[in-house]
Amino acid sequence: MTEQPRTPASVLVVDDEPTIGEIVSRYLEREGYDARVVGDGHAAMDAFTRQRPDLVVLDVMMPGIDGLEVMRLMREQQGARTAIILLTARGEETDRIAGLQLGADDYVVKPFSPAELVARVGAVLRRHDPATTWAPRVEVDDLVIDPESREATRAGEPLLLTQREFDLLLFLAQHPGKAFAREQLMDHVWRFSYYTDTSTVTVHIRRLRAKIERDPDQPKYIETVWGVGYRFAAPTS
């Protein structure tokens, strides 16, 4: 049987600067993506509702509805979660942290290289592709992590994790008892070894603990290894 060609991944680019939107879409289309461009938050929500994209490249600083509010509205929509990469201004650390807390999958600081942005798009989409993430499910006490369905439950109750939170939890759980530095987690989970701001890891660990631990202040699953980083607690039996 002849394998059917895969449908190109769709990317919605949201930026109020027409030149940036045009350049980014051109680079994306050159790499085989189906790119759409809109210039403000209202148009972004209209486009998102009409045809759910696989990924959104979303500028934070826009007139009217800013990017963080657009992302919050997108995250409230029912259905499969769409990956989101934020475009933030250089030095606006508060925007990056707020974006990660709202569930952004990655961020790129302006001014940026369009080629790097396209590489980030590819990396995020690969993490979302079920064909690249199959592995046996992990069960520790009442916590179950299923890579095939990309679902995690605790005591039978589903955990509402972002794509990046799930990837981080799965990676740690697949290496119980092994301590990883923040830089190593950036390399393995974010797939970029040249990040310098590892606060992203700290933010995601804090959010994960709030969702999977019965007492986040006394974590049972994700432990802090002082002076090193984090590890997933090895099973006791």
Q: Give residue 46's pLDDT.
A: 94
Mean pLDDT of 27-43: 92
Q: pLDDT-based confidence at 191, cuts 50/70/90? A: low
Q: Give residue 2's pLDDT.
A: 38
CATH topology of domain 10-128: Rossmann fold (3.40.50)
The 3 state secondary structure assigned to the chain is CCCCCCCCCEEEEECCCHHHHHHHHHHHHHCCCEEEEECCHHHHHHHHHHCCCCEEEEECCCCCCCHHHHHHHHHCCCCCCCEEEEEEECCCHHHHHHHHHHCCCEEEEECCCHHHHHHHHHHHHHHHCHHHCCCCCEEECCEEEECCCCEEEECCEECCCCHHHHHHHHHHHCCCCCCEEHHHHHHHHHCCCCCCCCHHHHHHHHHHHHHHCCCCCCCCCEEEECCCEEEECCCCC
More confident residue, 163 or 118: 118
More confident residue, 206 or 104: 206
Report pLDDT digits (tens) over 53-103: 999 999 998 888 999 999 999 988 876 678 999 998 766 677 777 777 777
Report pLDDT digits (tens) over 164-177: 888 899 989 988 99
Q: pLDDT-based confidence at 236, cuts 50/70/90? A: low
- The domain spans of the chain are 10-128, 131-232
- Give the architecture (CATH level 2) of 131-232: Orthogonal Bundle (1.10)
Q: pLDDT-based confidence at 148, cuts 50/70/90? A: confident
More confident residue, 130 or 151: 151
